[in-house]
Chain A
Amino acid sequence: MTTFEIRGLRADVIISEDERKEILKGVDLTINSGETHAIMGPNGSGKSTLAYAVAGHPRYEITEGEVLLDGENVLEMEVDERARAGLFLAMQYPIEVPGVSMSNFLRSAVTAVRGEAPKLRAFSKELQEAMKAMAFDSSFAARGVNEGFSGGEKKRHEILQLELLKPKVAILDETDSGLDVDALKIVSEGINRAKEANGMGVMLITHYTRILNYVKPDFVHVFAGGRVAESGGPELAETLEAEGYERFVKVGA
């Protein structure tokens, strides 16, 4: 049983050396293992900032608050330590790392997170199966990480990593954006498999309700003005679908 708690989190985006802007204005959220929390909200409300700040992205700085994973303060950990502690961020815009092959990258990540190098043959089989499940041709293994990947391929690669790394808590930042229906199904099935396999808690950040037909949320939160503005059950998503975010945009502004 894992508990992931965000308490009173405030964070700035660093625009330049002497310019910064506060984006997160006191976020509170608790996710237990097995739970899926959808975070929905208008563009610019700070959803992605929340994801990046928790993961330790260098362009964001946390100014106040705590992020606890089973009581351990994640914010005191290096970026790689957070991942090894069981936190995973699927990025909205996954980063291209030229010249580092996907297979080499995945083996290094799996080795680091599991704490020991997997047996070569076993890992090769595991990788092949995971790639197949995410509809990757095996030739991708030799390509540079996300290098020249389409938007959909990048998203599928994020979920492929999710399945290999088996985190305790996954933050999925608009993993559904830019996907066609087929890709959305593949990605959703990957997320659901990872949930079932290890009781992962999920923070599912999305702008649209579409993915919620495939990945069922237990809770829905509206994010506006840099904080959680309203929380509810799955029915809240339906209200948002019908009414839009106008009500919250005003609150946020």
Chain B
Amino acid sequence: MATPNLGIKEHSHGGGLPVSKLDVHGSFDPNDFPKPTGREEEWRFTPLRRLRGLHDGRNIADGVVKVEMSAPEGVTVETVGRDDERLARSFLPTDRVSALAYQSFTEAVVVTVGKDTRADEPVFIRVTGTEQGDAYGHVLVRAEQFSSATVVLEYAGTSIYADNVEFVVDDGARLDVVSLQDWDRDSVHVSHQYTKVGRDAHYRSVVITLGGDLVRLSPKVGYTGPGGNAELYGLYFTGAGQHHEHRSLVDHNVSHTRSRVDYKGALSGEDAHSVWIGDVIIGEDTKGTDSYENNRNLVLTDGARVDSVPNLEIFSGEVEGAGHASTSGRLDDIHLFYLQSRGIPADEARRLVIRGFFAEIINRIEVPELRQRITDEVEEKLAFHD
């Protein structure tokens, strides 16, 4: 939607380290991951100092978070201890923070959408940091066979928070997830969302990141059967001094799977920094993979920095579709011209185009009150410009 931007790395087809190598070193032992120095491919965009120790094991656990849940009929929500054997069967931590978070949490939330259940109201999980310090969490959401549900994860308050979220979508099930990072301005959040999509299952994620000092969120999707479909949508509005980093990885390790990744961000203010890394792997001997990823960034002011890196690794000759696009730039003057040519004043045209940019992702959220709330918060942030 935008004109090419100045000095932005927009395009990469792999860079140094192959994407497929990033995901194989999984371990539950933090010591299996060397402490990041910032030179590693997967850490080079993240200002480590601002992680406030999450990556080297601060581990005082002096933060306090409140976790509230609500669920409709047919969905069970439990708080369980570390020893619950349902936990951590769907993933291996892929970096040090993820392993540390797994080592450090005390209680986990387990959401189970029963077989064949169609939950008509969303499940809410609200994590609120009430006292700043490091804190750790774990969530497991399982949508059993042929069920369908929407899960809303909300993060707010003040915290230095690391967590792992497991989404297991069983055969024929549909799971819609909205993850809203609405932290106070001083919070730090490093999150991994590990998703396994079953046979003919459908996973749809909308990630909205507005708050925090630093948010680094890594959605990782793998498939356990053919016919799986994963749609990952994201929206971030990165203000002055904020660092928002989203690193999606879709591993088409099974034939006949589909994925769509569409992340959009707006940046405004001095030292606003957004990072989007979109990794897609199309596995050896797979057939019929259909994937596309897209990242668009709207740079509203000087002084902001965008890094946008799509990586695509194909190990199969029988791909149905694989593509990516990445653009970063200012508001498109041709859009503005069209609206103005209909009498709409310049500042209002600007507002309409910016809101339109956000609306494309916000409208994908099927929880009306959430849609409204997010729209209002975006408006509030935009009010600094208008």
Contacts and interface: CB of A to CB of B under 8 A. Distances in A.
Contact of B344 (A89, A94, A109, A144): A109
B22 interface: no
A224 interface: no
B348 A108 contact: yes
State the main secondary structure of chain B at its contact with A. helix
A40 interface: no
B355 interface: yes
Interface stretch (A55-63, A68-76, A117-125, A133-141): A55-63
A241 B345 CA distance: 42
Contact of B340 (A78, A94, A165): A78
Contacts of A80: 340-346, 349
Contacts of B342: 80, 83, 105, 108-109, 112-113, 161, 165
Interface stretch (A96-104, A204-212, A244-252): A96-104
Interface in A64-91: 78-80, 82-84, 89, 91
Contacts of A91: 338, 341
Contacts of A145: 338
A8 to B, nearest CB: 24
Given A57-B337, A58-B334, A94-B338, A99 B355 contact: yes
B236 to A, nearest CB: 16
A95 interface: yes
B353 A100 contact: yes
A114 to B, nearest CB: 9
A84 B339 contact: no
A174 B363 CA distance: 35
Nearest to A114: B343
Nearest to A82: B341
Interface residues of A, number: 29
A99 B344 contact: no
A240 B339 CA distance: 36
Contacts, number: 87
A97 B341 contact: no
Nearest to A108: B344
B303 to A, nearest CB: 23
Contacts of A99: 355-360, 363
B345 A95 contact: no
B333 A97 contact: no
Nearest to B349: A80
Nearest to A84: B343
A165 B344 CA distance: 12
Interface size class of B (residues with CB under 8 A): 20 to 34
Contacts of B1: 98
Contacts of A108: 339, 342, 344, 348, 352
B328 to A, nearest CB: 16
A134 to B, nearest CB: 16
Contacts of A165: 342-343
Contacts of B185: none
Contacts of A97: 335, 338-339, 352-353, 356
Nearest to B361: A99
A237 B27 CA distance: 78
Contacts of A161: 342
Interface in A158-178: 161, 165
Nearest to B334: A95
B356 A83 contact: no
Contacts of A79: 337, 340-341, 346
B173 to A, nearest CB: 30
Nearest to B335: A97
Contacts of A84: 343
Given A95-B335, A105-B342, A100 B355 contact: yes
A84 B352 CA distance: 18
Contact of A112 (B344, B356, B357, B358): B344
B334 A83 contact: no
Contacts of A109: 339, 342-344
A157 to B, nearest CB: 11
Interface string A143-154: 011000000000
Interface in B356-370: 356-360, 363
Given A78-B346, A100-B356, A105-B352, A95 B340 contact: no
A56 B356 contact: no
Contacts of A56: 337, 340-341
A207 B353 CA distance: 33
Interface string A5-45: 00000000000000000000000000000000000000000
A109 B353 CA distance: 14
B245 to A, nearest CB: 24
A166 to B, nearest CB: 11
A89 B1 CA distance: 23
Contacts of B335: 95, 97
Given A105-B339, A109-B342, A113-B343, A58 B333 contact: yes
Interface in B108-154: none
Given A79-B340, A99-B356, A99-B358, 8 more contacts: A56-B337, A57-B337, A78-B346, A99-B360, A100-B353, A108-B344, A113-B343, A144-B360
Interface of B: 1, 333-335, 337-346, 348-349, 352-353, 355-360, 363
10 closest A-B pairs by beta carbon, nearest first, are A99-B356, A83-B343, A100-B356, A109-B342, A112-B343, A79-B340, A113-B343, A95-B338, A80-B340, A99-B359
